Amino acid sequence: MSEPLAPTAAEADSDEGAVPSRRAQTIVGGCVLLVAAALAAGALQIPGDAGYGGVGPNFLPWLVAVVLAVCGGFLLWEAASGGFRSLGAPGGAARADKLAFVWVSAGLLLNAALIGTVGFIVSCTICYVLAVQGLRRAGRQPAAGAARTWAVDVFTGLAISAPVFWAFTQFLAINLPGLTQTGWL
* Planar angle of CA 142, 12, 105, nearest 5 degrees: 45
Q: What is the pTM of this model?
A: 0.56
Provide the pLDDT for residue 52: 63
Q: Please state, in angstroms and rounded to a whole number, the distance separating the CA atoms of residues 5 and 96.
A: 10
**46-88, pLDDT tens digit by residue?**
887 766 666 677 788 899 999 999 999 999 999 888 877 767 7
**103-115, pLDDT tens digit by residue?**
999 999 999 999 8
Q: Please state, in angstroms and rounded to a whole number, the distance separating the CA atoms of residues 184 and 155.
A: 17
